[in-house]
Each structure stands twice: as C-alpha cells, then as structure tokens.
Amino acid sequence: MSNEILYILLPDFAAHEMVYLMEAISSDEQQLRPDPKYVNRIVAPSAEPVTAIGGFRVMPDYTFADMPDDYAALVLVGGYGWLTPAADEVVPVVRKAVEDGKIVGAICNGASFMARAGFLNNVRHTGNGLDQLRLWGGDSYTNPEGYEHLQAVADGRIVTANGSGVLEFTRELLLLLENDTPERIEMYYQFNRRGFCALFPQH
C-alpha cells in the first residue's frame, strides 16, 4: 500500500480543516519526522494552483486525471467548491476509494457532498447538521437515522466531521491511520484543544 494521504482541494477550500492533520503526519511535537509513516499530497481538478478561501494558493501534486490508484487515505477538505460542478468529478474517486476499502475522511461541506452522492447511507456519520445533509442529499440521502450530532464520527473506514470539528476529525483519522500510539495522538489532540497553559500550568 502506498503511504500517500491524498487531500482533495476544490476552489475556495477551507485551509484550516486540513492543517492539523497534515502537521501531525509530517512532524511530532519537536521536529519534522525524519522517516514519516505517511506523506501528504494535494489533488485538485487541474494542475493550476488551487485557491483557499483566505486567498493563498496551493500547487497540486496530482489532478483527478493522473492521481494514483493506490494510497493510504483520501481526505475531502471543506469549502465552497463542493457547491460547484467540480465536485461531480470527485464522485467516481470516492466511489472507488470506498469500494477498495480506503480510509475516507470528509469534513464540513465535504461531508455534505458525501450525503449528496449517497456515500453516507450505510454508515454512522455527522456533518454540518442534519438539516444541511438532508438539503444537500435530497433523495440520495436515505440514512438520517445514521446521523450523530457530534464533532466527528468514525464508522469503519469513513470519518466525517462538521466544519468546527477539525481537531476531532484529525484525531479520528490519525487513529485509523495508526500514525502514532493512541496516547500520543490523544496528547496532540488535548494540546491543541486545551492549549499549552492549561496542560502545563506555571507553579
């Protein structure tokens, strides 16, 4: 199995939804990992730089046309691009990932896209509220009883989260990937959730 984690970025993506995961993959609390278990790669509709909501641009490593078939995980980063026709190109990518048993993570509007494409119909899941999943999913979304009102939900190889559940989304994916020990993954989560001063009070 390839050790690449592929992040799907559509125009006007939400950059903050991927940074904690990417940094945990590439580094520990002290330094860049000299021999990381996984590497981060960006996939976009074309080879042109893709622009984040905040305005900065990211150069893709792959396009939908030349992305590899073998990889460790697929991550759908939220943003406004999931409301555009570009999202339709992602449907066969996710379908193959699910069929192949890949880890698939979807956050914010990425989770809403999963509902619209019917990929949440057999798993427990969350997203930006049940009303939005129903709105986006329409007749293709047949599993409202599988919705859980949580920051992030992992069921099998699929992880979903609402847009504010970045840290919980990161934790669930790191656990599935076995990127580190569960204890160290939890420490990473708590450090970023609670902050340095809360974890290490000055006496």
- Given a cut of 70, is residue 118 above it in pLDDT? yes
Average pLDDT over residues 147-171: 98
Task: Report the SS3 class of residue 148.
Answer: coil
Q: What are phi and psi of 111, to 5 degrees?
A: -70, -35
- Residue 143: CA count within 13 A, CB half-sphere: 18
Q: Which helix (H) or strand (E) is 4 found in, with range?
A: strand 4-8
pLDDT score for 1: 57
124 touches 158 (CB < 8 A): no
User: Domain with 106 in it: what CATH number?
Assistant: 3.40.50.880
Q: Order the strands of the 103-107 sheet from edge to edge.
A: 62-63, 39-44, 4-8, 73-76, 103-107, 158-161, 152-155
pLDDT score for 31: 85
pLDDT score for 30: 76
What is the total count of domains within the chain?
1
Q: At what angle do helices 109-116 and 130-137 cross, to 10 degrees?
A: 50
Q: Shortest CA distance to 193 belongs to which of 168, 158, 160, 159? A: 168
- pTM listed for this prediction: 0.96
Contacts of 66 (CB under 8 A, 6+ apart): none
Boundaries of domain holding 71: 4-199
- Residue 157: CA count within 13 A, CB half-sphere: 13
Specify the DSSP class assigned to residue 116: H
Q: What are phi and psi of 166, to 5 degrees?
A: -60, -45
167 touches 189 (CB < 8 A): yes
Average pLDDT over residues 138-160: 98
- Given a cut of 90, is residue 96 above it in pLDDT? yes
What secondary structure, in 3-state letters, does 177-199 show?
Answer: HCCCCHHHHHHHHHHHHHCHHHH
